[in-house]
Structure 1
Amino acid sequence: MFEFILDDKFQDYLLILDKKMSTTGSSNPKVTRKNASGNRYDMGWQYTIDVENNSRKVQYKFCSKIFSGGIFRFKHHLACTHKNMEPCLKVPDDTRKEILEIWVKNAEATERKRKIINSIDDSENKNDEIQQVISKQKGKNTMDTFMTKGKWSSSATGSGQTTINQMLKRELREDCCQQIARFFYACAIPFNCVKHPEFAKMLELVGKFGSGLKPPSYHDIRVKYLKKEVTHTMELLEEYKAEWKKIGCSIMSDGWIDKKRRSICNFLVNNPKGTVFFTSIDTSDFSKTADKVCEMLDAIVEKVREENVVQVVNDNAANYKAAGEMLIEKRKRLYWTPCAAHCIDFMLEDFEKKLKVHATTIRKARRISTYIYSRTLLISMLRQFTKGRDLIRPAITRFATTYLTLSCLSELKGALMTMFTSNSWKSSRFVSQQDGRRVQQTVLDSRFWKNIIRCLKAALLLVKVLRLVDSDEKPAMGFIYVEMD
């Protein structure tokens, strides 16, 4: 039944096509250009103005350009598709969207016709007479040729409809991305936030909702959804607590000072499932004696439950060490473990305090960096010779910044020596100052650079281990003993 209906429609189409071809095939046809002023039926022509004394050219209404092409290229110009024609920069958005919608509708209609013709061509029960008519009618004026070679025919990448949709989505995506970027710029949000997985999840849910999404209000963010997030976090914490009961966990404490100069002590719980923040205590109001530290650690162990705790990890300072010994004396099942990164940092500090060559070299290096970075003109001069590099760089770890600075000085040795022997330095006012001459003598002293190499050879192996144990990328205890050996 389905094939019979298709055959009837196709026969009607062939009859109309034959009638049209017989009419246009007369001996003396009257030829009329399809873009002539009396033969413009496409709605795109309403956006043009006829050029006086020239029936073959028209003028764009929006950008005032004059052209002599067909309506096909002109509509690409209005739709700003960047195909066959440069886009119009002054076309209104509603007009551009209207033209793009027409492209989509035409592409969909053309695609439907192509599918009907292909279905007929592929049918095994075709009438022999229809097959003969099809073979005769194939030519440059037939629908088959238009659908095969036309602008909106299917290709290896998909149908014409898909191409138009991709075009619309590409422009819409550019606008969306520009607005997202503008939000980042206006609110001074760090760019690396786009790497966070929650950012991608947020945009995915917004896309699923579609247009008309009402954003959350200030009160929603501050109260409603914050409470929900706290509840969600506590539910996740319950999953971690279940793992603590199965395989145990480690309690870690870390002290720091915030921007308000408050002393904060954070407590975290770690096990193979991951590390979670447990709580924090403001220690600004009391002295962190061994008894007080032991009291804090004991309270955290009580909350986590003693049977789940394997060890307590904290700094290797004297008060924390004494507190750890007091804690394991009270709770026999626990171990106290000093922080490996803090221990190695103490070793590097001992290098500076107890080895004369290290102390002297580090003092001179600090004098150089302090002198340069306290003067704006010298910073500018330095970056000209070092090609933008600095003597002090942000450390990958929180410790060993002294030896990392020595490493930077060693790498920039040539640039520094060139700078302090250049005409820019000799013509500056700093060369006549006592501090400036002292820094110049230090930079040009070959013994100073030899001592830097000696210090780095002694310390860089420890710095390498320090980077490993202070990194958050992977657990360090599996290789810490081998690296220390």
Structure 2
Amino acid sequence: MDLYSTSNFSPGTSLLKRNSNDVGWEYGILYDSKNPDRVKCKLCGKEMGGAILEAKNKKRKMKREADVFSFEVDELNREDDLDEDPMDKFVMAVTTEDSLGGETGQENSNDVVSEERMRSVRQFFARWIYQSGIPFNVIESDSFRSFCEALGRFGPGWVPPSQCELRETLLEEEEEIIKEKLKSLELEWEQNEFSKEPQTGKFIFEYVDKCIEDVGVEKVVQVITDSAENNLAAAKMLKEKRLGIFWSTCAADTVKLMLEDIVKLPKISKYIEKAKAVTMFIYAHEKTLAMMRCHTKERDIVRPGVTRFATTFLTLQRLLEKKEQLRFMFVSDEWDKCKDSNYVKGRSAYYTCLSPAFWDGVKRVVKVLEPLVKVLRMVDGEKRPSMGFIYGELVEAKRSIKAATNNLERYYQPILDIIDENIKGRLDSPLHLTAYLLNPFYFYNEPPIQLDGTLMTGFLNCVETFYHGEFEKQDKAVDEFRIYQDKDGFFGTPYALRGCEQNTDEFDPGFSLDF
């Protein structure tokens, strides 16, 4: 093998280079064929010993000097902007606006994180959600997205706050933040003297009426409030003055009032109280809590909800789900050895969980409440517009409640009375009745409603209100209703009829008849 080669030199040179792939030969030449350790730099012409190693060191030194020079130039250019600190981009405060839109300093995760790592992070997050019993819809909140953005900007090493910090320090700080945000509202209230006035029906009516004037009467179709008596009084006055505007109560608020009244009935409340006593005893003692979680495979029997009623209902459901595990726990040797079993409340919990009558009662209570809970979830959710289903689902709920009580009037009648009392004047307005009547799922699948005089009266009143004083439009609406009623035109096509066969979350009465 040749030791020297002239292949890399320019034409006419007699100097040699080593037959080597070392990158250093790009910057040095062997100018003395008798001494292979003498190298001459191509860049500056300096002759040096140490063979190609010295040339490589010289190249590194020149590279460092060039980098330093480039850095100094950048620093000089940066000094021209005296208003911006070089570290500002690394310590920018995170705001809700930053996290919900606009550009961020973080690259797309698909560019910097492998699919496997992303899957692992998602799984850890999902496991935390499942094990903690956190509602899935929390991930839709702006505050959660802000937290994720802040955590991503912080990077590795973040340590979660302690329970003490959450209970005290951070809670107090959040309270101060909210108070600060409320100051502007309080100032507006003081200027309008709103908080000083008694919240009578007349006052609310005058306030809402003024707002309607400010917005423009032609732009207001409906006013929605809760079911408080003063709001209902204001609604009556508004209907007398604003004949073309609907006033409705919040459906979710009304259904919650129904449920709160129903759970107070003696035949229902006694089972709820017994269930509460059992859960409170178990959670009040460390050993019984550990024993319960062991038998239920770490599943809690208390499921927190948004409201007190939601917590009660979800807990009853979980008790039924874990019925066998709880009964087995109370007859186990571990329970007999537990000193808490000798307490009065412990013996009471024991007899309750081993009582067939208790479990039958809990099952009946859940069956009675489930239909209304279904309605509540529908009106409180965002899967589909609920106006066309509220009245119809309440009718169906009453049927289900009758079936849950084996059609025994002494059981279901008090419940239906509460439902009807809360519906009256709130969820049976002309707008609700018309929405029920114009929902093809109910109209075509339940022919008797086509002959219901109350529904037809509600429909006509709704048309008169919506097209107040516009008689031609009122007549046209009534004529088109007859086409809808007789299934003429597009209403009678197989596509339209098939679309009305099932009342699922995907069913949209407006879309099914939209051609």
TM-score (norm 1): 0.42
Considering fraction of residues, name the structure with more strand. Answer: 1
More helix by share: 2
What is the TM-score normalised by the length of structure 2? 0.40
